Amino acid sequence: MHIPDGYLSPATCAALYAAASPFWCVSLQRVKKLLNTRMVPLLSLSAAFSFVVMMFNLPLPGGTTGHATGVAVSAIVLGPWASMLAISVALIIQAVFFGDGGITAIGANCFNIAIIGSLVAYGVYRVISAGAAFGSRRRFVAAAIAGYASINVAAFITAIEFGIQPALFRDATGTPLYAPYGLSVTIPAMMLGHVTFAGVAEALLTAGVLGYLQRTRPALLAHRLTGRPSTALANEAGTVGWRSLKPLVAGLALLLLLTPLGVLAVGTAWGEWSAEDFASVEGRNQIAAVSGNQAPPATVPSGLQRLSSVWTAPFPDYAPPMVKHESFGYVLSGMFGVGLVTLATMALGGVLRFRGAGAHREA
């Protein structure tokens, strides 16, 4: 579900950057108001959790792979606006340093996963859990359905973005310039794996984490009864710090050590093939096999070929060039990524806090 460079036209990428920008602006304003509640550690932990979860690839029907996102957990715990920032930070780090998603497609990936995913998860959870007692079974079910809905809506929007490319952007011969398949292929190809395995994984992950938090850190979730996250977090200002989050940090560290399980799934996520895959016989056969047996264009789409090389990540596919052992390199990449995500969210919090303090002094 991480759109690479070259699959969306520059016009589509620009439009999705523009669509994401207002949400980023509002989320920055909302998060700025919560900084005095020591929210930054929780924001960092949520971003890091999402980053690590997305490293666990799952085998999907037809020979492709997918993964959960952790978006629903973030949206329920932090609220949708802070979740947008946390997940966006994780997606940007993935694209820039690991080539997981394209640089040109950062706006698209953040819009689909971080923004739409957070809004859907939060909305579904609030509707289903409305009036339910804290810790009730209905809240557990609401969390599972929120996770399932968020990843499937995000996947559906991604499929539409892929599917409209060949209708809008072709060369003089009628050959698609970017993503080569229309909606009749992209929607079933994307949704089959998400409606089944990936959606179920997201549901189980969300329900499991929220169930654990209900038992061990109920204060982080109690604000969902009132709908006033700022009030609840303000009341918890003395406890939402790194020290109080030690059990969650330990859980994240354990999850990080298990990331080599993510390389066991064989295959490429649908719509994330390289230009070389389109050029080789084996790659073309694999693409056709998971695309309704419809062969890709005879040549690599020229726009895809051109944009696919716009950025070379220093650690592509979470495989540091200097590390020969695949699993060890995957763990090292995960550790490096978690460190970057944590530093980025803490730096963002520091900037917002500084600007907020400056505005307060001027007033």
Q: Which two tokens stand for residue 83?
A: 């979740």
Cα atoms in the Cβ-side hemisphere of radius 13 Å centred on 92: 15
The CATH number of residue 292's host domain is 1.10.1760.20
Q: How far is CA 261 from the centre of its chain?
A: 19
- For residue 175, tell me if it sits in a domain: yes
- For residue 231, tell me if it sits in a domain: yes
Q: What is the b/e burial string over 233-259, where b = at least 16 CB atoms within 10 angstroms of the residue's CB?
A: bbebeeebeeebbeebbeebeebbeeb
- For residue 23, tell me if it sits in a domain: yes
Span between the terminal Cα atoms of the chain, in Å: 45
- Mean pLDDT over the full length of the chain: 90
Amino acid at 90: A
Residue 242 confidence (pLDDT):
72
- For residue 2, tell me if it sits in a domain: no
Residue 224 confidence (pLDDT):
53
Residue 250 confidence (pLDDT):
92
Q: What is the b/e burial string over 277-313, where b = at least 16 CB atoms within 10 angstroms of the residue's CB?
A: bbeeeebbebbeebbeeeebbeebbebbbebbeeeeb
How far apart are alpha carbons 171 and 346 in whole angstroms?
A: 45
Residue 197 confidence (pLDDT):
94
- For residue 84, tell me if it sits in a domain: yes
Please report, for residues 16, 139, 152, 154, 158, the alpha-carbon distance to residue 7 in angstroms, rounded to integers and kept in the order given: 13, 38, 20, 17, 11
Q: For the segment 265-277, what is each residue's pLDDT rounded down to a tens digit?
A: 888 999 999 999 9
Residue 106 confidence (pLDDT):
98
- For residue 5, tell me if it sits in a domain: no
Residue 8 confidence (pLDDT):
98
- For residue 91, tell me if it sits in a domain: yes
Q: For the segment 294-311, what is each residue's pLDDT rounded down to a tens digit?
A: 999 989 999 999 999 999
Residue 226 confidence (pLDDT):
45
pTM of the prediction?
0.93
- For residue 352, tell me if it sits in a domain: yes
Angular region, 295: left φ>0, alpha ψ -120 to 50, beta rest: beta
Tally of domains within the chain: 1
Range of the domain at 264: 10-362
pLDDT in tens, the chain (363 residues): 899 999 999 999 999 999 999 999 999 988 887 665 567 888 999 999 999 999 999 998 778 999 999 999 999 999 999 999 999 999 999 999 999 999 999 999 999 999 999 999 999 999 999 988 877 899 999 999 999 999 999 999 999 999 999 999 999 999 999 999 999 999 999 999 999 999 999 999 999 999 998 888 887 776 554 444 444 444 443 445 677 788 889 999 999 999 999 988 888 999 999 999 999 999 999 999 999 999 999 899 999 999 999 999 999 999 999 998 999 999 999 999 999 999 999 888 888 777 765 555 555
Q: Which of 284, 232, 60, 233 is nearest to 155 (CA)?
A: 60
- 8 A C-beta contact, residue 121 and residue 147: yes
